[in-house]
């Protein structure tokens, strides 16, 4: 099926007027279902989630079966499973992506797409991170999203390696001083450890 995403394309224009922006957003949300098909929690059922980051710390972790065991499996950006199944699992129920220019035509199932309100990013940046850094990472926003939709959150694949490099598990690192760019990696990682210490999440650090 081919879908034309003209509303999004107009939003991404360099100098959109406010009226054009409102019209484009209205049209875009008409393409998206009112609610996602996520099974509701109940007193006799606990909905569990795996939030799988892209850290190199996942390599040789053998967390794959534990990731796949959860009801909801959230991955982000370029996170991949092929060739890394033993460490990262095989299932994906939600894929959170950061901003990227969209093609005018794309093959997609509109019923499987949800768009987070931009105010959610602001909420995470101001409330959770106390405005540290320029913006929150996609991975940290995915974690906060999981805390809103899951009863039990299991977190995998976050943090720098033993040398302080923020590299991905599918890459061979060339830049030995790779940092996190505009988002506050150290602050986010400290928050994850604090949430784990208070048993709000369960954090699997990897190796």
The phi-psi region of residue 62 (left if phi > 0; otherwise alpha if psi is between -120 and 50; otherwise beta) is left
Q: Determine the Cα–Cα distance for residues 144 and 135; give it in Å rounded to an integer.
A: 14
> Are 154 and 49 contacting, i.e. CB atoms less than 8 angstroms apart?
yes
Catalytic residue among 63, 94, 135, 204: 135
| 198 has catalytic annotation | no
Q: Give the Cα separation of 164 and 175 in Å (integer).
A: 11
* Cα–Cα distance, 202 to 89 (Å, whole number): 17
**CB contact at 8 A, 151 and 46:** yes
Please, what is the end-to-end C-alpha distance for the chain in angstroms? Answer: 42
Residue 183 annotated to the active site: yes
Show the tokens assigned to 205.
């650090």
Catalytic residue among 168, 183, 189, 204: 183
Structure tokens at 117: 């309100």
DSSP string, 48-94: EEEEE--BGGGTT---HHHHHHSSEEEEETT---TT-HHHH-S--SE
Q: Which residues are catalytic?
A: 135, 183
């Amino acid at each position: 099926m081919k879908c034309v995403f003209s509303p999004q394309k107009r939003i991404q224009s360099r100098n959109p007027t406010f009226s054009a922006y409102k019209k484009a957003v209205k049209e875009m949300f008409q393409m998206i279902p009112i609610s996602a098909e996520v099974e509701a929690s109940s007193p006799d059922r606990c909905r569990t989630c795996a939030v799988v980051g892209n850290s190199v710390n996942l390599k040789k972790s053998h967390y794959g079966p534990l990731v796949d065991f959860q009801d909801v499996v959230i991955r982000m950006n370029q996170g991949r499973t092929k060739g890394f199944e033993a460490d990262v699992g095989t299932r994906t129920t939600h894929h959170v992506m950061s901003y990227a220019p969209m093609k005018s035509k794309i093959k997609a199932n509109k019923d499987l797409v949800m768009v987070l309100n931009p105010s959610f990013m602001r909420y995470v940046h101001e409330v959770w991170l106390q405005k540290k850094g320029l913006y929150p990472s996609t991975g940290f926003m995915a974690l906060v999203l999981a805390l809103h939709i899951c009863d039990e959150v299991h977190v995998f694949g976050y943090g720098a390696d033993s040398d302080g490099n923020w590299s991905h598990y599918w890459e061979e690192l060339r830049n030995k001083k790779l940092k996190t760019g505009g988002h506050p990696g150290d602050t986010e990682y400290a928050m994850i450890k604090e949430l784990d210490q208070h048993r709000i999440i369960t954090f699997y650090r990897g190796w």
